[in-house]
Amino acid sequence: MAIRNVRGPPAMTLPLFPPDDNALLEERLRALFRSWIDYRSLSTSRLRTERPLKEESAIVYQEMWHAFAAYCAQRKLDVTTIEAADIQTFLMLRESGRASAKPRVCIKGSDLSPRYAWRLLTLIDRITRFHAEREGVAPNRAATELLQRSEYRYANASHRDPLPEFCTDAQAKRLIAYLTEIRHAESPQGPMSWKEVRDRTAVGLMLGAGLTPGDVRAMTLEGIAIEGGRRAGLPWKLALPGNGNAPARETPVAEWAGRRLAVWLSVRENHHIKGELVFPSTLGGKTWSHTGCYESCKTVLEGAGLGNDSGGVFKLRHTFALRQLAKGRTEAEVARWLGLLDLSSMARYRRVMPRPIDVA
């Protein structure tokens, strides 16, 4: 399941009053977040507020909560003593850039997005309610009160959803050229290591098949379809397992990405890599960790000259979706390939479709 990536130690009960040690308080607040994530991961509810979180959401929420936890620890605040004014101060610090660990999402220039504020308030509200129910105490209503204010209450309206980040035509072509590069022994950098080939192939499938980092880490060899494609011997379709939040699905693979995957499978075989995972972290077949996968893919983007662009690795998945829609695929088809259960999630792509989309 995707949310396993942010799990940690067993639940830790927060004290009614914060300890003197700021680092200890911050760790306890982080542990509360991990307990909430674990609680959600085991949920069988269909309610959006209770079901397991998608990997992308869990990562963003973790980043938001960690920044808030550091702020609370500096001021000796815990989930029972935080007040609305404290949360507003945190938001102002984020906007001014004086708070540590600025968010990666929903920020344009120096302005704090209303949607980011709404997401943070909602996160605080849900975690404080979770803590109150677990400890049998009255919930802290500071975030609840702020959510009733008009500037936050309507911040999550659909017309305010941030537009998806995606690669321009030039960016995509540059990245594809970098991903499909072949280095020989006589090249200045020498031949690629098996991990370099793995990393570039993984990024290639994010752009050429719409995979998430979680998909990359969970994909198995039996899910690669080679027979029946237009090009003999080239992978053309992937079968991906469900992750507890999205259903099992199949997705097509761009021809260039299929060629890159074929190269990786040959390298994988030549190095006698064990196990059934397509992209393990070791020759012995160990699962690629979330952090290891993220850092490796980030390095690939930096090597292609895209390291400073916004959107991260998920912009590759958005580019895949837009490419398919531009080709005339229906929203239902693309949503199925992406593993999206809610078709309304495709609305944000319609808002950028008038822009030229051309990905090789």
Asked if residue 334 and residue 209 are part of one domain, the reply reads yes
**Is there a domain that residue 358 lies in?**
no
* Residue 308, amino acid: N
Is 175 within a domain? yes
Q: Are both 202 and 83 inside the same structural domain? A: no
Q: Where does a domain end: 135, 160, 185?
A: 160
Task: Please classify residue 292 by burial: count the beta carbons closer than 10 Å to its beta carbon, then call 0-12 exposed, 13-18 middle and 19+ buried.
Answer: middle
Question: What is the CATH number for 336?
Answer: 1.10.443.10
254 within a domain of the structure (yes/no) = yes
Domain boundary among 126, 160, 194: 160
Residue 8 confidence (pLDDT) above 50: no
Residue 45 lies in a domain: yes
Q: What share of the chain is helix, strand, coil (3-state, %, to 5)?
A: 50, 5, 45
Predicted confidence band of residue 297 (pLDDT cuts 50, 70, 90): very high
Specify whether 145 is located in the same domain as 230: no
Q: Which of 16-30, 238-252, 286-300, 329-343 has the lowest mean pLDDT?
A: 16-30
d(CA 275, CA 294): 21
* Neighbour count for residue 308 (Cβ, 10 Å): 7
Q: Is residue 86 part of a domain?
A: yes
The average confidence (pLDDT) of the chain is: 82
3 state SS of 225: strand
Lowest pLDDT segment from 11-25, 153-167, 233-247, 333-347: 11-25
Q: Are 66 and 186 part of one and the same domain? A: no
* Rounded-to-10 torsion of CA 112, 114, 116, 121: 120
pLDDT tier, 186 (very low <50, low <70, confident <90, very high otherwise): low
Q: 153 with 215, same domain?
A: no
The pLDDT value recorded for residue 258 is 97
How far is Cα 93 from Cα 102, in angstroms, rounded to an integer? 10
Q: What pLDDT, in 10s, does the model give residues 104-131?
A: 333 333 345 677 788 889 999 999 999 9
Could you count the other beta carbons within 10 Å of the beta carbon of residue 200?
A: 23
Phi first, then psi: give them for residue 224, nearest 5 degrees: -95, 120
Top-confidence range, 4-8, 20-24, 87-91, 261-265: 261-265
Which domain does 39 fall in, by range? Answer: 2-160
How high is the pLDDT of residue 105? Answer: 35
User: Looking at 143, 160, 177, which one is the last position of a domain?
Assistant: 160
- Whether this model's pTM surpasses 0.75: no
pLDDT value, residue 96:
59
Confidence of residue 211 (pLDDT cuts 50, 70, 90): very high
Please name the residues in contact with 250: beta carbons below 8 A apart, sequence gap of 6 or more: 225, 237, 238, 239, 240, 337
